[in-house]
Structure 1
Amino acid sequence: MKKLDILFKKEIKDFVYSSKCWILFFFVILGEKVIIKRNHDAYNIYFHFWWITFTVQQFIYDSFLTDVREKGTLFLCNAKIKFLNYYLVKCLFCAAIMILMLSGEIHRIVKISNALQVLFLFSLSMMVVPVEYFMLILAKGNEAVGIILSNLIMGALFLLLTKLPASVLTVLLGVAINVLFYVAVNMAQKSLYFRKLI
């Protein structure tokens, strides 16, 4: 019974933490929309949201699944369950991003090409999960290297499929911010772990 109580409290704590993250990311998205308010090119707007999605995906992942790295690696116990949970969180997050985007931009999406653009964006967001896991295997469990490689590959695919007028520098910026979030989250987790030990 005590184990169930501890598990329930942990789930509540994770839910509160992840809710704060969602609120923070909502303001990030809102700020991005304000910054590019004068830009009426929907393609550019989608590209900005693309790298924001990649920037925050690792943080969202950590907030929902805080126990993933307690075993020391992604490939030990319950790897299949963790993979499915990660995929579900990724899908929910991307769906939320798309709803926020389309709520302000739906009136501009009238051509079939623009509709396909949205489908491409959503599909690529879903593809990042198996790509990232494959890159992690190639990197022999080095998560930082896996994240960098997967983001570069997805960035290249995005540019090739959508043919957006985006620069390579913007893609690299998205990768850099993603890695910084990854490092910050892991440092915070280690700090909390050592505090518990003390």
Structure 2
Amino acid sequence: MYKPKQTVLVLAMLLASAAMNAQTVSMRLNGVTVKAAIAHLEKESKCSVVYDARTVNTSKKVNVNAKTVKEAVSQILAGQDVTYEIKGNTIVVSPAKAPQRKQQQSKRKVTGQVLDENGDPVIGATISVKGGTEKVVTDIDGNFSINAADGSKVEVSYLGYKNREFTADRANVTVKMAQDQQVLNEVVVTTSASRRRPRLCRIMCSR
């Protein structure tokens, strides 16, 4: 509901704030503390400055050469992580707002296929986004689909094969895997050793 009295009150406050901004003062201070400068401003302008001492460094030394209230406040609070607002005959000092977080990086859906050196599909290969939580495995045809931040690194891994990596900068990829000979040799050595143990045991037992 429209309330004329409230509207008049708001307009009056706005006019008072504008008048305070432009109010003439004569302040020339050199090497004084912020606390002393604020006290001098309150005396000169007949206004009140409201602030939290935990967010304003009141012992900092400042120089002030101002002809208006707005100039004086700006110079007194220069270099401090605060903002101010003039409301009527009151100057309210508040902590500066924290910068907004960067928008989340856009994601894209990447589909593809993982093949071995013979061009056959690799079943059960793990596809994971580096530094992220997204992870999928390839299906019976070696196909996969994963959501990744645009430009992020995606790793493909499978036992017995060297890990491969690609950049999520396109919608479809084909990853060709290569066998890791070192891993395969270790598997062969381990298997051979395991096969020899029963025979060795039988020889020792027979003795």
TM-score tier by shorter-chain length is under 0.3
Q: Which has the higher strand share?
A: 2
Q: With structure 2 as the length reference, what TM-score do the two structures score?
A: 0.23
Q: With structure 1 as the length reference, what TM-score do the two structures score?
A: 0.24
Larger Rg, first or second structure (1 or 2):
2
Q: Which of the pair has the greater relative contact order for Cα pairs under 8 Å at 6+ separation?
A: 1
